[in-house]
Amino acid sequence: KILILDFGSQVTQLIARRVREAQVYCEIHPCDVSDAFVRDFAPKGIILSGSHGSTYEDHELRAPQAVWDLGVPVLGICYGMQTMAAQLGGKVEWSDHREFGYAEVRVRGHTRLFDGIEDFRTGEGHGMLKVWMSHGDKVTELPPGFKLMASTPSCTIAGMADEARGYYAVQFHPEVTHTVQGKAMLTRFVREICGCRGDWVMGDYITEAVQKIREQVGDEEVILGLSGGVDSSVAAALIHRAIGDQLTCVFVDHGLLRLHEGDMVMDMFAGKLHAKVIRVDASELFLGKLAGVTDPEKKRKIIGGLFVDVFKAEAEKLKASGQGHKGATFLAQGTIYPDVIESGGAKSKKAVTIKSHHNVGGLPEQLGLKLLEPLRELFKDEVRELGVALGLPHDMVYRHPFPGPGLGVRILGEVKKEYADLLRRADAIFIEELRSTLDADSGKSWYDLTSQAFAVFLPVKSVGVMGDGRTYDYVVALRAVQTSDFMTADWAELPYALLKKVSSRIINEVRGINRVTYDVSSKPPATIEWE
Ligand code: XMP
């Protein structure tokens, strides 16, 4: 296994991700762990991360001496390179200013790390790498035993190596995707230079994570707000695997879920996994408070606020009932790594802002609960992989995102039960057809080819004709988008035949809707949701 020592870079987690992609197990620990910790960890290799800031104190951060005494390969990245140089007798010029940027690095000499890895060759035949460089502090003199491995015009020593000891260092960031060969370099380091086998899979992560959860929780009890979304579902399945009945899931049904969604969540977690799940049917409460409210942000606030109230009441009931000996002392959340970054970086002391759709902000403090966040280190696709490894159904784990306020923001204007019931059925038909229609070229379903797809209820009536009679019914808009980050999105060019089928099924099967439109707006300037 590989030990990653974190000097506080925003992208340290990406190093871990790249190492996991190379199918090698790794753990991130703070750079100030003890020598004994490093020895006990018994790594096959160590990676020293970059650092976030440019404050003078950071220059004082050093890798524990044991890193250099263990006799295993070490890779220094950015700040990690500087500390390597400083600790092993080279010279470093510190600068207060640091910036990231694209750079082309010239490969020097032959090293095991770079051999055969290059992006292009210059006219003179020099091997070049396209990298994401951190400019600022520089190594100005190689430590004894080191040779030059890479350089740029502005940074003479952009990479250095002491191959006899297996020490390598680069000034740029191989962990970010902008460094084209970064993944190849990290794979080379952990597999070939450190000699890790590369047979680690997500299944192994479960073993480690289960053990950690057991250690953290001990014999205490945990509650978790289960929404049916990917993150809370995977967190629930993982924690349940670890501590079984010490976990209680609270599933708040606000009446604005998709067709049969509540039953499916119960069936999966209570039925198949035999987890303790409390289903709170709060639809009347939610719909009651939403009556007459048309403003989207007001609707969001009401739904979010009620969610907290209901969850809190359940948590307090559980605490009071002391269903074990003392009731729940932990609140589990499906926080994933991108949430951690969004809320101010992994190093931030500030508590992670709870995802808007979990809406339990402030609850841990109010209820005196400790946080349990077993997915904090994982990226979305890794969470999905973990979900599959835990036995969750593929369809659940690879489903499109669904907003916390649910159909509350997909029914334009005032939310009514009648509207929600119509929308649920129209939406279910759309999703069913997307899932069952395959694209001939890729062989994938249109559900998998789109990032998010749903129906929107428009509370306006239009005239239609059915049989001999005239109808005067509601309109539904279909929305399907393709996006990688949900910040920008294109409307999906669904096949006409698919749209035709969906439209005719909705109009024939959902009495009350007589017109279907397809939304052909991209984001920006439109948003994905209609409210
Ligand atoms: P927009 O509509 O802003 O949506 O383009 C971008 C992504 O965010 C989701 N979304 C929400 N998720 N609570 C949520 O949990 C919300 O209030 C909310 N509003 C939008 C939306 O579904 C899309 O994936």
The DSSP result for 349-375, as a single string, is -SPPPPPTTT--TTHHHHHT-EEE-TT
Please write the tens of the pLDDT for every residue from 264-306: 999 999 999 999 999 999 999 999 999 999 999 999 999 999 9
Q: How far apart are CA 117 and CA 119, in angstroms?
A: 7
Q: How far apart are CA 43 and CA 426, in angstroms?
A: 55
**Domain at 450, CATH number:** 3.30.300.10
Report yes or no on 411 lying in a domain. no
Q: How far is the CA of 356 from the centre of ligand 1 (A)?
A: 10
* CA nearest ligand 1 atom 12, residue: 403
Is the same domain home to 250 and 376? yes
Q: How far is the CA of 230 from the centre of ligand 1 (A)?
A: 15
Q: Is 175 annotated in the active site?
A: yes
Among 239-243, 313-317, 425-429, 451-455, the minimum mean pLDDT is found in: 313-317
Is the same domain home to 49 and 179? yes
Select from 159, 193, 227 the last residue of a domain: 193
Select from 145, 164, 193 the last residue of a domain: 193
Helix and strand numbers, DSSP H then E, in the chain: 17, 21
Q: How far apart are CA 266 and CA 276, in angstroms?
A: 10
Q: How far is the CA of 104 from the centre of ligand 1 (A)?
A: 38
Please write the tens of the pLDDT for every residue from 127-155: 999 999 887 888 999 999 999 999 998 88
Q: Is 173 annotated in the active site?
A: yes
Helix, strand, coil distribution of the chain in percent, nearest 5: 35, 25, 40
Confidence band for 352, pLDDT divided at 50, 70 and 90: very low
Amino acid at residue number 513: I
Q: Is the CB of 523 under 6 A from ligand 1?
A: yes
pLDDT at 61: 86
**Domain at 46, CATH number:** 3.40.50.880
Q: Is the CB of 356 under 6 A from ligand 1?
A: yes
Structural domain count, the chain: 3
Is the same domain home to 184 and 218? no
Find out whether 227 is annotated in a ligand binding site. yes
CB atoms within 10 A of CB 312: 16
Q: How far is the CA of 403 from the centre of ligand 1 (A)?
A: 5
Is the same domain home to 390 and 328? yes
Report yes or no on 281 lying in a domain. yes
Report yes or no on 95 lying in a domain. yes
Q: Is 204's pLDDT higher than 90?
A: no
What atom of ligand 1 comes closest to residue 527's alpha carbon?
5
What atom of ligand 1 comes closest to residue 452's alpha carbon?
24
pLDDT at 172: 94
pTM value is: 0.81
Find out whether 229 is annotated in a ligand binding site. yes
Select from 193, 225, 247 the last residue of a domain: 193
**Domain at 265, CATH number:** 3.40.50.620
What atom of ligand 1 comes closest to residue 531's alpha carbon?
2
Is the same domain home to 174 and 313? no
Is the same domain home to 170 and 277? no
The residue segments making up the domain with residue 263 are: 202-397
* Mutation test residue for ligand 1: of 529, 530, 531, the one with most atoms within 8 Å of CB: 529
Is the same domain home to 437 and 509? yes
